[in-house]
Chain A
């Protein structure tokens, strides 16, 4: 059983793609309101791990619990997904809906709000991420940074208890990374639990309560950011930091 204070609990989670072991024996507990950043080289399983939390990826060993509910196919999956929102690397906005309706759609269909109320709330959220004036446009008319802020607003519209970020700035031009990171920073400490996969080291250090370092499908180290960045004793993590910080 998961501890009561852990909103996400992973025990012995494993995942294979054919012969490739993407995740091996993952144990991780994340507390309510915590900000956890997953770091590691590409292919180390970070994205696969967070995609197991809302079952976009089906794990084939172990258990994942969200708020005490086992994450698995079936009737309860939708109620888990209503608590867990996700922001994607490629934004994945709905091209057939306006910006406003991208944000309003979830609340209308899932929370059964009227379009009028949902759009009103969507407008407030767009305001919060700084793009209220784009509300009537379509996703293809926005810059990458703006699209990703819509992606965040769409996730927030579900009033999730957990927000998953899968490399939210990796597909952005460098000058747009800051605007997205600023929005994410604004969410930390708001009571919502954040789990992020990112390659933005400075941001990770600033925002994280804990860093989870992964390599080859395993968690190699879990540490507070200052300890991790200045004093990791794990030699894989040391090599990773050397590679990303000194080039």
Chain B
């Protein structure tokens, strides 16, 4: 058995290619959904954390800290295996989306907060002085500037969420990794695993590059 027929077996790859692609789409669906929901949830959390009434602020801090501390895998397993004891029975996909979103929200909340705090005080004052209410102040003046500042870290976090989707294979979600391990077992050959790794790289490497591009662009603009 040589290396090529073991790890890069074309016959095996051709046979299980459709299976891998199916897994890839599921991984992308799970990742994109969790990222988008996490971006929305994080924004709401950040605003609650900064401007909520005292108890709201306190709850937001507790949430953000707890979900940044808990390992993704642990929370995922709890959502999938423990919640049914409370009568909450979610599918593997729904469990994974819920767990990833809840954790991503905590991280993005802190990123948004840093961005909002980096907007100069004079911007808030100018908006207040022309009579804008807090919703308009956020939407028209503060958030566009804050989000611009934090696009690189938000992209970074999105990459992490995409990578964490692989954990969903633990709750039997037929994502890319799960499909690959399944194919590997069926074919008694590790080529599908290598194929999956390559697909992950094709998906993620451009995004990693993108962060670098964003960092260069927004730090330059920020310097003006």
Contacts from A to B (Cβ < 8 Å): 54, 56, 78, 81-82, 84-86, 88, 90, 92-97, 105-106, 109-110, 140, 154-155, 157-158
Taking residues whose C-beta sits less than 8 angstroms from the other chain, chain B's interface range is: 10 to 19
- Give bound CA distance, A94 to B144, whole Å: 10
- Determine whether the beta carbon of B123 is less than 8 Å from that of A154: no
Number of A-B contacts (CB under 8 A): 62
Known: A81-B129, A82-B131, A86-B129. A109 touches B123 (CB 8 A): no
Interface string of B116-158 (1 = CB under 8 A from A): 0000101101111111110010001100110010000000000
- Determine whether the beta carbon of B132 is less than 8 Å from that of A106: yes
- Give bound CA distance, A55 to B48, whole Å: 23
Contacts from B to A (Cβ < 8 Å): 120, 122-123, 125-133, 136, 140-141, 144-145, 148, 224
Minimum CB–CB distance for A163 against chain B, Å? 11
- Determine whether the beta carbon of A81 is less than 8 Å from that of B145: no
Closest A residue to B224 by CB, please name it: A140
Minimum CB–CB distance for B97 against chain A, Å? 32
- Determine whether the beta carbon of A81 is less than 8 Å from that of B140: no
- Determine whether the beta carbon of A88 is less than 8 Å from that of B125: yes
Residues of B within 8 A of A154 (CB): 126, 130
- Determine whether the beta carbon of A92 is less than 8 Å from that of B131: no
Question: Can you offer 19 A-B residue contacts whose CB atoms are under 8 A?
Answer: A78-B131, A81-B129, A81-B130, A81-B131, A85-B129, A88-B125, A92-B120, A92-B123, A93-B126, A94-B123, A94-B140, A94-B141, A105-B140, A106-B131, A106-B132, A110-B132, A110-B136, A140-B224, A158-B131
